[in-house]
A and B are shown apart, each in its own frame.
Chain A
Amino acid sequence: MAPINDGTARTNDEIQALDRAQQGLADQTARLSQTQKQQIAAAEAKLDTAPTATTSGPDGGLGELPKAPTGISGLDEVTGGGLPRGRPTLVCGPAGCGKTLLATEFLFRGITQFDEPGVFVAFEETADDLVANVASLGFDLAKAERDGKLVIDHVSVSRGEMEATGDWDLDGLFLRLGAAIDAVGAKRVVIDTIETLFGAFSNTAILRSELQRLFGWLKEREITAVITGERGDGTLTRYGIEEYVSDCVIVLDHRVNEQTSTRRLRILKYRGSLHGTNEYPFLIGDSGVSVLPISTLGLRHSVSKERVSTGVARLDSMLGKGGFYKGSTVLVSGTPGTGKSTLAAQFCDAACRRGERAMYFAFEESESEVIRNMSSVGVDLRQWVDAGLLQFHCFPSMGLEAHLFTVQKLVRQFKPAVVVKDPISSLLRAGTGADVAAMLTRQVGFLKSNGVTSLFTSLNSHTEPGRQDQQLASLVDTWIHVQSMVGNGEHNRTLYVLKSRGMAHSNQIREFLLTNEGIELADFYVGSEGVLTGSARQAQEAQEQSDGRVRLDDLEQRRVSLERQRESVEAQTAALWREFQDEADIVGVLLSRGSGGVEGRAGRRAAQGLLRRADSDTRDHKGYPADIRLP
């Protein structure tokens, strides 16, 4: 039994050990499978993320979409290189927002800049109208047509002559378009405006399917197409074309704000590409559309270390050495009547004095007013106007885009070294603060890239720099604030440099004086009585001067009295000296009489004593009295 028992015990032990081993193995496999699963999952995740990473990669990997540059200034920057090549793009917006022009420019620049012939399918305008409309922008469509680079196909559609019975399709359009594309080898097609078709055909179900087929067909032929669409009520396009054109959708808009219209552009959608998502203001200038992407404002312009005098010597020295940097932007802000315009005028005057050209944009005064007003402070601007060095442009209220555009055009024509805008705060009437700041950003970029030193004045209602100025703060390089201080029954102007990039400018506040010879800057008096300006400062200066004189007089007096004292001391010394001399002489004489006299006298006294039998106590051993000493 015992061995059996032993045996069973052993087997039991063995079974337990086996169980444990099995358990261990199971655990191991479980762990293994778990790690394997994790690895597989990780690999799967990698596979999932890998393609998206390449398509959305900004550095342009495998998935980078080929793009057709539009050549429209700013639009290529916003879209990251242009419209999707070989695909249709929808440009939609309300009437008059510039859809047709954008499309035309895309086509025209494609022909002239990128050698990509095009076809314009016009449902709205006739070919002649179209050519005439864009001729003023310098787009010579007629020439492109003659050169065999462009086909303008006007498709007239009107419901009256399009009575539909039964089934139909748009094969006619396809054939027409196909023929036109083949005729010039077109790479770009514009269809303007697709919505017109919906007005012509009552059966929109067929039309929709036909349009879908059209876009598919264009894609198949690798045509970069721009389709324009009218904006609907609450939808992007009136008939929902955006459903069919899904690659790229550009929304145009024009908004009236404070009675001024500003056009805006937004890339609503751009499949497979990064794009700017903001709303960008855009202009229709005399060379077509220009989108103003503020984020892509070229900060590439070269900078100058050259200084431009402000026209006020003291201000030049306040700004370190010599004034503003050439090509920098200066903001002069201040309350009304603080001399901002005068500062601006003197700046122009200094430029003209150097023989440079200056341009003065006045928004609140006429040319003759400015000239008259400035002559009262000794700044003669008339001479420079006559010499052709100074140009005045006085705008009434004008839209921001128009303003921006006009300024650019004038600056390009006149090529001034210095530009003054007085005051930019009046532009706020033409748009909101943000719009104005955006426009100015653009303008500053333009001026800087042309090396123009610009000075803007800005009117504040408060003594502190205003809110609209804060928006400009980062834009400007130098910011001078002029304000008035009221006290002691008068108002005085003060000036300080709030900021000035890249120069060791003064932190002092100066009093700003308008004299008959222009601007002068005076030191501020800061003393125990606080900051003093104007007559108080003059009084203080006079006080100081008179105090000084009194002190001087006092000193002189004390000096004189000291001199006298010295003289008297000298006199006294001389008198004493003489006395002493006399005494010394007498002593000398006495001494010269010799000691014999003394001996004689003493002998005589002793003899007298002996004779008188004087008391013996008083005699010493020699028999002489104690008070007598012999030399």
Chain B
Amino acid sequence: MSAYETSEIGISRGCQNWHLCLYVAGKSAKYLDAQANLTRLCEEHVHGRYQIEVIDLVEHPALARSEDILATPALIRRLPEPVRKFIGDLSNPERMLVELRLRSSQ
């Protein structure tokens, strides 16, 4: 597996982009759920304007320290600014929409 498993679904028409990094530890159901939840949310609300990086900390433990990851799964929203950090399996779509500002931008 490459360092950054990137699922890039195209860049937007110039307005706002979402750059999201999902940090997981291994391949347990919890992480797969989180990844699926995130992708679904983005597909539904910001289709074509997002970029998701999934980083497995088991393979890159040093990143846990440099990115200051404590709990997993952790989601870092790099764009739009400011950078925000969320934890959990993202199983609450309503809340995530607000937190990630996915809805407001539409």
Interface residues of A (CB under 8 A from B): 153, 155-157, 161-176, 178-180, 197, 200-201
Contact = CB atoms under 8 A, between A and B. Distances in A.
A168 B65 contact: no
Interface stretch (B5-13, B14-22, B43-51, B69-77): B69-77
Contacts of B95: 165
Nearest to A157: B70
A166 B69 contact: no
Contacts of B58: 175
Contacts of B90: 165-166
Contact of B30 (A161, A162, A167, A201): A167
Contacts of A174: 25
B78 to A, nearest CB: 13
A126 to B, nearest CB: 11
A163 B101 CA distance: 14
Most chain A beta-carbon contacts within 10 A, residue among B65, B71, B89: B71
Contacts of A175: 25, 57-58, 61, 64
Contacts of B65: 153, 176, 179-180
Closest 8 interchain pairs by CB?
A166-B91, A171-B25, A179-B61, A172-B69, A166-B89, A166-B88, A165-B88, A161-B85
B92 A179 contact: no
A178 B23 CA distance: 17
Nearest to B89: A166
A176 B69 contact: yes
A167 B37 CA distance: 12
B96 interface: yes
Interface of B: 23, 25-26, 30, 34, 57-58, 61-62, 64-65, 68-74, 84-92, 95-96, 99
A179 B60 CA distance: 9
Nearest to A182: B61
B84 A161 contact: yes
A168 B25 contact: no
A171 B91 contact: no
Given A165-B86, A179-B64, A172 B57 contact: yes
Contacts of A156: 68
Most chain B beta-carbon contacts within 10 A, residue among A157, A176, A197: A176
A225 to B, nearest CB: 17
Nearest to B92: A165
Most chain B beta-carbon contacts within 10 A, residue among A173, A175, A178: A175
Contacts of B64: 172-173, 175-176, 179
Given A161-B85, A162-B87, A179-B61, A155 B68 contact: yes
A201 B71 contact: yes
A169 B74 CA distance: 10
B68 A162 contact: no
Contacts of B96: 165
Given A175-B64, A201-B87, 17 more contacts: A155-B70, A162-B70, A162-B85, A163-B85, A163-B88, A164-B71, A164-B88, A165-B92, A166-B89, A166-B90, A167-B30, A168-B72, A171-B57, A172-B69, A197-B70, A200-B70, A201-B71
A629 B72 CA distance: 168
Nearest to B25: A171
Contacts of A171: 25-26, 57, 71-72
A168 B87 contact: yes
A222 to B, nearest CB: 20
A162 B71 contact: yes
Contacts of B87: 162-165, 168, 201
A165 B61 contact: no
B67 to A, nearest CB: 9
A163 B86 CA distance: 5
A165 B23 CA distance: 15
B29 to A, nearest CB: 10
Given A161-B85, A172-B72, A166 B61 contact: no
B39 to A, nearest CB: 15
Most chain B beta-carbon contacts within 10 A, residue among A153, A166, A167, A170: A166
A155 B84 CA distance: 16
A157 B34 CA distance: 22
Contacts of B57: 171-172, 175
14 contacts: A163-B85, A165-B88, A165-B92, A166-B89, A168-B73, A168-B74, A168-B87, A169-B30, A169-B71, A171-B57, A172-B25, A176-B65, A176-B70, A197-B70
Given A164-B86, A164-B87, A201-B71, A179 B25 contact: no
B68 to A, nearest CB: 6
Contacts of B61: 175-176, 178-179
A173 B89 contact: no
Contacts of A168: 30, 71-74, 87-89
